[in-house]
Structure 1
């Protein structure tokens, strides 16, 4: 099955548009709607050519603590021979529009829409857009938590369209997760998955758990219950959920509701706050 994904294109709203929107920032969660991702809020990075990005999350007191997430936009001919400057950082790339060439430890991968790559810390990699159209992709970064006696997981490249989702128990397939890494593999300290709800499906209870979340809506719409507040979200919106933020949802239809989900896993919690 071939999936489609929302990708921002920037621009600016007209002066006639109402100022108020669905954006909200609280102690427990934040919602960054797709209408916020305009030209005026883009950033640039060292050693990236013909590239701009929207920063969705970054480590910050009272906000994301374990990860950063970008939507990258690389024009034809653009890219980087020196993309990651932090040797401790692991990363996931997920292509939502266009094509790009990833060179990872000397091996070249042609990544199309739906393409997914896991990049371990300290990897030698480069990325370029050799096509005639812009490429847009998510880049999730985390400082890898090394554990003595446990190897760092190896790199891999795959595609959402080539993988079968795993159905959640007792849901008749209405709620499923596309898992790119084995959940039982404790070498991984983060998972970046895709969650799919069929129209009318739900998370039928307020999940309240240790994992921090970043959720980018790839397709469809839903109503989310976040810390006793109901919020509507649609394709292109981003949500940050703090650890233990109560969370549930109903998928609104008419098509599937899908989102890219980050969570930190498989490590002891830090016992000193200043150790984060």
Structure 2
């Protein structure tokens, strides 16, 4: 399995603009080519680390989550990664390996490694190797529900979790679900969606869930609101609630992306 990472660096002065980055009232599209050194951020209490912050709550847009791509140099990491006691997290490693310590013990997460970290439980993360490591970090304010216990920490991986084919697709469209959809303790999912060549979403999905979609492998044409956009490894799509979407995979290999969505809770009422 392969996992795209930001190209970093800085384009040559002779290079043309990507011409594809766009921010609209319904979605944002960030091609891999815009994820360069100059747009990274540094995070308090993280050593030898930097982050591409590719999503954050914005009033009137997508409001439930933030998503970082964190690069940790050899010897880097944090003993105090999260200061917000209400923030739950998912980590997904796309390059190298990291050592994670949390309430479930000490774990070495390699490429494809996944960890769920409940709100209010401390954790640490370090790169003990001699090469850089890169991982996605999704953060969300956990929405507790009276009478339903909060979820526990767990660690798994892409390799350990079998994709489940969508009904009536003959395996052309499948989802790797790290959390059982009916487990109401969880208020978000971070899945991997896979389309085989020619596979598609055959209708315009229009729903209340917000999305972050990061392409880790392959190519596709993706419908975002009214626009068909060509997408490939390292591209990121950020969709607000009810933004129509559809997809048709192109190329000779699988098209795969990481998918965030908020789930299993009432719609918030403003009064």
> Do these two structures clear the TM 0.5 threshold for a shared fold by scoring above it?
yes
- Cα distance in structure 1, aligned partners of 2:4 and 2:52: 14
- TM-score with structure 2 length normalisation? 0.98
What RMSD in Å do the two structures reach over aligned CA positions?
Answer: 1.0
> Mapping of 1:71-82 within 5 angstroms?
71-82=69-80
Moved more, 54-63 or 44-53: 54-63
- Cα distance in structure 1, aligned partners of 2:103 and 2:76: 20
> Mapping of 1:6-45 within 5 angstroms?
6-45=4-43
Give, in angstroms, the shift of residue 21 of structure 1.
Answer: 1.9
Q: Which residue of structure 2 aligns with residue 51 of structure 1?
A: 49
1:253 aligns with 2:247: no
Give, in angstroms, the shift of residue 63 of structure 1.
Answer: 3.0
- Cα distance in structure 2, aligned partners of 1:73 and 1:50: 9
> Mapping of 1:83-102 within 5 angstroms?
83-102=81-100
Unpaired segments ≥5 residues, structure 1: none
Q: 1:149 aligned to 140, 147, 150, which one?
A: 147
Secondary structure of the structure 2 residue equivalent to 1:40: helix
1:263 aligns with 2:255: no
CA-to-aligned-CA distance 1:140-180 (integer Å, 9 cap, x gap)? 00000011111100010001011110000000000000000
Secondary structure of the structure 2 residue equivalent to 1:161: coil
CA-to-aligned-CA distance 1:88-110 (integer Å, 9 cap, x gap)? 00000000000010001271001
Q: Which residue of structure 2 aligns with residue 221 of structure 1?
A: 219
C-alpha contact 1:11 1:38 (8 A) present in aligned 2? yes
- Cα distance in structure 1, aligned partners of 2:53 and 2:99: 22
Unpaired segments ≥5 residues, structure 2: none
Q: Which residue of structure 1 aligns with residue 169 of structure 2?
A: 171
- Cα distance in structure 1, aligned partners of 2:117 and 2:39: 27
Give 4+ residue runs of structure 1 displaced > 3 Å after superposition.
none
Secondary structure of the structure 1 residue equivalent to 2:33: helix
Give, in angstroms, the shift of residue 82 of structure 1.
Answer: 0.3
Give, in angstroms, the shift of residue 61 of structure 1.
Answer: 2.0
C-alpha contact 2:78 2:125 (8 A) present in aligned 1? yes
CA-to-aligned-CA distance 1:190-217 (integer Å, 9 cap, x gap)? 0000000000100000000010000000
- TM-score with structure 1 length normalisation? 0.96
C-alpha contact 1:66 1:264 (8 A) present in aligned 2? yes
- Cα distance in structure 2, aligned partners of 1:256 and 1:5: 12
Aligned residues, how many?
A: 271
Q: Which residue of structure 2 aligns with residue 198 of structure 1?
A: 196
- Cα distance in structure 2, aligned partners of 1:169 and 1:19: 41
